[in-house]
């Protein structure tokens, strides 16, 4: 039987070129101009699962983009691992900031990735990380050492809120039955220090619209005498944080879990350099909620951020105008126990209440999801840690991430199983940004580590 290390060495060029083919298809779920590409990607994923050795692969149609489902059952008495990932990607814009076209993958070296990294939209989030699972599975099939049953569920709407996946999971709890859910759609501390994500933040995403006069007005003739929706919107948004950067929405913190000093001290042991952090972002200082460290601010604390704001004249030159309307998109990252629907309601009520007379306010809720925390004494966590320890030579550190994968909390609710987040990306991989990339080291290390998770999970389950 061939070991995984040598299988990866022998096949790495093919592994890389197959991923590159997948990355060439622009599966941007947010933009309907790419709808055929998203569908084509689902077909490519289906084919890859068939080739790797699934018995049954199907395209499950939804009201949106299809879910690719595949399985391999070797013995119903053995445990079943459900692998989740997503084949859709974020929009590539601003396209002019890419150093090579987002859907023409190329390998370039960086300081952090001296062995090279694949530059393309979706390289890390999540096509590259999802495809590690397909290749790890291929190895186990080829070498006759798949130790348990496996189910794959790869969706095409993660980046737009997984609305149809939610329905699919609710309607297919028997089909999706499993002992553990395995996801690679997060990151790790560094290539020298693996980590396992033990928490994800929840999310509430809303859009607001402020309307003043019924038409755009001359800012000289009317300025000073009517409410300017852009001024008002800016004021209202500014008031959502106090001088300590606490969020001012009444009730917002009611269910926030305060970590003990011991837990916070434990968290602070993870290697982190504030100097390097600032340097990587060209910042002269960090900014955030008083009383918390940078790593706490972006993981165990909830936040409120404007993601986009527009209105009025933004073209060339000047136009003296008071716009009729102003808009903003606002996201709130939530921590476990905060209910996203309740937070959306609290936001809506508060935002409407702070609007002065002279404008009207509309709040349109988008999507959301609950946060997630997972214990580190589960079989799944232990198996993951054993796998990382073997391939990296040192144990993984548990880390709560600031990102969101809202479907994870739903998995636990509907399927009653824990999710293990074995991420191989780095924060510096620029997911959602121009020049997204995924290290070749990370990609191959992921393929190496995953079969060990299977092995140890089955051993520990006995
Ligand atoms: N893979 C990311 C989430 C992620 C990245 C979690 C890195 C932890 C570390 C996922 O694709 C994502 O982008 N999620 C969205 C939420 C979704 C509802 C659009 C997010 O976090 O903004
Ligand atoms: Mn993702
Ligand atoms: Mn993403």
**CA 258 to centroid of ligand 3, rounded, Å:** 27
% of the chain exceeding 90 in pLDDT = 98
Atom from ligand 1 closest to the CA of residue 160: 19
- Residue pair 364/209 in contact by the 8 Å Cβ criterion: yes
- Determine the pLDDT at residue 347: 98
Q: Is the pLDDT confidence value at 286 over 80?
A: yes
pLDDT (mean) for 316-345: 97
Give 188's contacts (C-beta < 8 A, 6+ positions apart). Answer: 194, 195, 196, 396, 399, 423, 424, 425, 426
The pLDDT tens digits for 367-404 are 899 999 999 999 999 999 999 999 999 999 999 999 99
Per CATH, the architecture of 203-256+302-367 is what? 2-Layer Sandwich (3.30)
CA of 436, nearest ligand number: 3
Where would I find the H helices in 160-215?
A: 163-171
CA dist., res. 192 & res. 269, Å (int): 15
Please provide the average confidence, as pLDDT, over all residues in the chain. 97
**CA 89 to centroid of ligand 2, rounded, Å:** 8
**CA 385 to centroid of ligand 3, rounded, Å:** 24
Q: What is the DSSP letter of 143?
A: T
Q: CATH 3.40.630.10: which residues of the chain?
A: 4-200+371-461
Residue nearest to atom 10 of ligand 1 (CA): 405
- Determine the pLDDT at residue 2: 79
DSSP per-residue string spanning 254-272: TTPPPPPHHHHHHHTTS--
pLDDT (mean) for 283-310: 97
- Residue pair 103/31 in contact by the 8 Å Cβ criterion: no
pLDDT (mean) for 233-246: 98
- Determine the pLDDT at residue 158: 97
Q: Is the pLDDT confidence value at 275 over 70?
A: yes
Pocket test for ligand 1, best of 64, 159, 402, 406 (most atoms within 8 A of CB): 159
Angle between helices 35-52 and 127-142 (to 10 degrees): 20
CA dist., res. 57 & res. 361, Å (int): 48
**CA 331 to centroid of ligand 2, rounded, Å:** 17
Q: Is the pLDDT confidence value at 250 over 90?
A: yes
Query: What is the pTM (predicted TM-score) of this model?
Result: 0.94
CA of 205, nearest ligand number: 1
- Cβ-based neighbour number of residue 231 at 10 Å: 14
CA of 421, nearest ligand number: 1
Q: What is the DSSP letter of 315?
A: S
The pLDDT tens digits for 52-100 are 999 999 999 999 999 999 999 999 999 999 999 999 999 999 999 999 9
- Residue pair 135/447 in contact by the 8 Å Cβ criterion: yes
Single out the residue of 286, 453, 289 nearest to residue 386, CA to CA: 453
pLDDT (mean) for 320-332: 98
pLDDT (mean) for 209-214: 98
**CA 12 to centroid of ligand 2, rounded, Å:** 23
pLDDT (mean) for 190-219: 97
Which helix (H) or strand (E) is 417 found in, with range?
none
Q: CATH 3.30.70.360: which residues of the chain?
A: 203-256+302-367
The pLDDT tens digits for 411-452 are 999 999 999 999 999 999 999 999 999 999 999 999 999 999
- Residue pair 440/118 in contact by the 8 Å Cβ criterion: yes
CA dist., res. 65 & res. 125, Å (int): 18
**CA 458 to centroid of ligand 3, rounded, Å:** 30
Residues with CB under 6 A from ligand 1: 125-126, 158-159, 161, 185-187, 203, 367, 401, 403-406
**CA 159 to centroid of ligand 2, rounded, Å:** 7
Pocket test for ligand 1, best of 373, 405, 406, 407 (most atoms within 8 A of CB): 405
Single out the residue of 22, 266, 205 nearest to residue 122, CA to CA: 22
pLDDT (mean) for 97-117: 98
Q: Is the pLDDT confidence value at 218 over 70?
A: yes
The pLDDT tens digits for 143-173 are 999 999 999 999 999 999 999 999 999 999 9
Residue nearest to atom 6 of ligand 1 (CA): 403
- Residue 429, CA distances (Å) to 17, 142, 416 in order: 19, 31, 32
CA 114 to chain centre: 25
Single out the residue of 7, 12, 5 nearest to residue 118, CA to CA: 12
- Determine the pLDDT at residue 372: 96
Residue nearest to atom 13 of ligand 1 (CA): 159
Helix (H, G, I), strand (E, B) or coil at 36: helix
Q: Is the pLDDT confidence value at 44 over 70?
A: yes
Q: Is the pLDDT confidence value at 1 over 70?
A: no
CA angle 153, 156, 162 (to 5 degrees): 85
Q: Which fold has domain 4-200+371-461?
A: Aminopeptidase (3.40.630)
Give 392's contacts (C-beta < 8 A, 6+ positions apart). Answer: 192, 193, 194, 445, 449
Strand 117-119 with 106-108, pairing? antiparallel
């Amino acid at each position: 039987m061939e070991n995984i290390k040598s299988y990866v060495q022998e096949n790495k060029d093919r592994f890389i070129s197959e991923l590159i083919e997948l990355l060439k298809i622009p599966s941007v779920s947010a933009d309907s101009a790419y709808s055929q590409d998203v569908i084509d990607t689902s077909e490519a994923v289906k084919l890859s699962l068939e080739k790797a050795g699934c018995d049954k692969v199907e395209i499950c149609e939804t009201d949106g983009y299809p879910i690719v489902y595949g399985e391999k059952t070797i013995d119903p008495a053995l445990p079943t691992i459900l692998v989740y990932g997503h084949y859709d990607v974020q929009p590539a814009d601003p396209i002019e900031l890419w150093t090579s076209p987002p859907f023409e993958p190329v390998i370039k070296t960086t300081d952090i990735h001296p062995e090279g990294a694949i530059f393309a939209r979706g390289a890390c989030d999540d096509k590259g990380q999802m495809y590690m699972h397909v290749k790890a599975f291929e190895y186990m099939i080829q070498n006759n050492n798949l130790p348990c049953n496996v189910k794959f569920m790869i969706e095409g709407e993660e980046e737009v809120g997984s609305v149809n996946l939610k329905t699919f999971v609710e309607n297919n709890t028997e089909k999706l039955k499993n002992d553990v859910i395995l996801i690679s759609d997060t990151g790790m501390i560094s290539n020298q220090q693996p980590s396992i994500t033990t928490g994800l933040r929840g999310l509430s995403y809303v859009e607001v619209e402020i309307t003043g006069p019924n038409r755009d007005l001359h800012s000289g003739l009317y300025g000073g005498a009517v409410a300017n929706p852009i001024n008002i919107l800016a004021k209202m948004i500014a008031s959502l944080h106090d001088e300590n950067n606490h969020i001012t929405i009444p009730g917002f913190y009611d269910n926030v879990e305060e970590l003990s000093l011991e837990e916070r001290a434990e968290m602070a042991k993870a290697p982190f350099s504030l100097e390097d952090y600032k340097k990587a972002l060209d910042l002269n200082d960090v900014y955030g909620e008083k009383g918390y460290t940078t790593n706490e601010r972006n993981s165990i604390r909830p936040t409120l951020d404007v993601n986009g704001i527009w209105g009025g004249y933004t073209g060339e030159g000047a136009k003296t105008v008071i716009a009729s309307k102003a808009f903003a998109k606002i996201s709130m990252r939530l921590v476990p126990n905060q209910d996203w629907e309740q937070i959306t309601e609290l936001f809506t009520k508060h935002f409407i209440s702070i609007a002065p007379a002279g404008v009207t306010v509309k709040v349109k809720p988008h999507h959301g999801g609950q946060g997630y925390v997972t214990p580190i004494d589960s079989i799944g966590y232990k198996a993951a840690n054993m796998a990382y320890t073997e391939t990296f030579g040192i144990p993984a550190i548990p880390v709560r991430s600031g990102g969101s994968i809202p479907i994870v909390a739903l998995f636990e609710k509907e399927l009653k199983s824990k999710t293990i987040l074995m991420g191989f990306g780095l924060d510096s991989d620029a997911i959602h940004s121009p020049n997204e990339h995924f290290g070749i080291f990370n990609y191959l290390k992921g393929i190496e580590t995953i079969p060990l998770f299977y092995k140890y999970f089955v051993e520990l389950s006995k």
